[in-house]
Structure 1
């Protein structure tokens, strides 16, 4: 939500247009110009039958004012569908509408969902509606993760998932429930260093656990970016593996070069991720590969 706080209505509309055009692709998405005689209560529509409107409530509104203004926006724009039915029908052509969606920065109250259902039941049967009527919905950009992520690149937004420190007790619990992985870490760390080995093992376990949490968060919120990050890391692993076919590196050297490859590769992604997330990914992948036996070629066993 933080990147949306500094927006205004026009900026939010531009953000939504980029987001939805990316989500539905240009062949299936249409923007309605409003310079001449207004947009007739439709800012965007899709060939699959969805009408979109955007609204940016004042962030300083109280909850009561917020609900009042959002409900007014829904009510006013739905009325325009009836008022401009003939013009809208000409604009849509053969497209049959099944959904009307208001996109706002954040859905703060379940009362708005109830209000949408209430309005849905009271709508008249319009010529461009599905024979079963239409759904009236309210959504935020969270419903369009791929498009939202794409649109953020135009405003320089940095992706950052807050990370919590892993307690030593949690690392100990992981050892007990993942004995095979822990044995792998123990074998490999003996090849890496002879001093501070217990500290290294604990840090690797913590990095492993943080990576799992971070990957789950990116998979849920930014699925395309999750895939890009995973592919970059695997390509880096393969690069170091191929290099070691011709010149065997010392374990410390190989691990350090792989760590730097991860850092550099992730920093070049078009959608910027925070330095904190970059470092967690870069070191976490190495921890997971050591635990899951994907780096035997480096350790030379």
Structure 2
């Protein structure tokens, strides 16, 4: 299975490892314990908290990445059915490993595509509560407030981003390119449009000789500026740590860009300076932010460079 915003092919083992690492972050203060399955099974859970919060988790990712919606639902439904039943059957094992109270049973999957899995989880929640009612002594570790939840990868973007930056070196963040749209740049902020137009003329002498080429070039940079703004806002909201990493590199480059471009004074020198700064900035993102895919680094670099043209940091005369 592939998550479209991660350059990382998931299977059952990889997903379980990722889920456990996520839970170690989320439940750091709740005394989270992993439950290895090597000796007499894991009791139907992959991990649990020993605090009053009472969370147990079960992870699942089918190894077949090509399941259609119905097959994916059926595989997830069967997994929930099997492991929820273990909560009842394995009460002895769960008590021995220290599970004191279960308030939340969380089913962690990369994604789900059928609302029937939500209905199934609610049915199993009612089943557990009924079983506790019928057998309160053996199932004393089940809370009267017991609930079943299903969580997907997108619910843990902040934690996954932290792991990408610090621990899981073979996972890369892949921010999808925004769909191309036709932009009438002349209707946008006139000052920014004029900045891009003026600087393109300063960089390339052929823009005045070829108005159509000039229009396309300006249109490209305005698109990159608009798309880049949206992408960076998304980055700031969903991956604040990664956004900070990008902004730190950008802040370092801003002064350099301003100095280098102000020292440039003719078309040939302007073009050479522009290309050198663009290449250097893109390379810096690739080197410093190894957890981004090459495509994502290139997209961010091009968008930020276009913002420098639209604003005042990259100045050509």
Match of 1:227 among 223, 227, 244: 244
Shift of 1:73: 1.6
Corresponding residue number in structure 2 for 1:176: 187
Corresponding residue number in structure 1 for 2:23: 20
> What CA distance in whole angstroms lies between the structure 1 residues aligned with 2:8 and 2:283?
31
1:107 aligns with 2:112: yes
Provide structure 1 residue ranges, at least 5 long, that are not aligned to the other structure: none
1:277 aligns with 2:291: no
1:85 aligns with 2:97: no
Corresponding residue number in structure 2 for 1:76: 82
1:11 aligns with 2:14: yes
Shift of 1:103: 1.4
Aligned length: 291
TM-score of the superposed pair, with normalisation by structure 2:
0.75
CA contact (8 A) 1:50 1:100 kept: yes
1:261 aligns with 2:264: no
> What CA distance in whole angstroms lies between the structure 2 residues aligned with 1:69 and 1:163?
32
Corresponding residue number in structure 2 for 1:286: 305
SS in structure 2 of the partner of residue 136 of structure 1 = strand
Shift of 1:118: 2.1
Corresponding residue number in structure 2 for 1:143: 155
**Could you list the per-position Cα deviations for residues 11-48 of structure 1 after superposition, in whole angstroms to 9, with x for gaps in the alignment?**
33223223433454487432112222221111112454
Shift of 1:53: 0.6
1:25-174 matches, within 5 Å, as: 25=28, 28-46=31-49, 47=51, 48-59=53-64, 60-61=66-67, 63-89=69-95, 91-92=97-98, 96-124=101-129, 125=132, 126-131=139-144, 133-149=145-161, 150=163, 154=168, 156-163=170-177, 166-167=180-181, 170-172=182-184, 174=185
> What CA distance in whole angstroms lies between the structure 1 residues aligned with 2:172 and 2:252?
24
Shift of 1:112: 0.3
**Could you list the per-position Cα deviations for residues 169-215 of structure 1 after superposition, in whole angstroms to 9, with x for gaps in the alignment?**
x332x331322321332344444344316343222112213313433
**Could you list the per-position Cα deviations for residues 110-168 of structure 1 after superposition, in whole angstroms to 9, with x for gaps in the alignment?**
1101111222233225534445x13212222222113334369747344434435645x
TM-score of the superposed pair, with normalisation by structure 1:
0.78
Moved more, 202-211 or 232-241: 232-241
CA RMSD, 1 decimal:
3.5
Match of 1:210 among 227, 246, 263: 227
SS in structure 1 of the partner of residue 241 of structure 2 = helix
> What CA distance in whole angstroms lies between the structure 2 residues aligned with 1:165 and 1:107?
25
Provide structure 2 residue ranges, at least 5 long, that are not aligned to the other structure: 133-138, 209-213
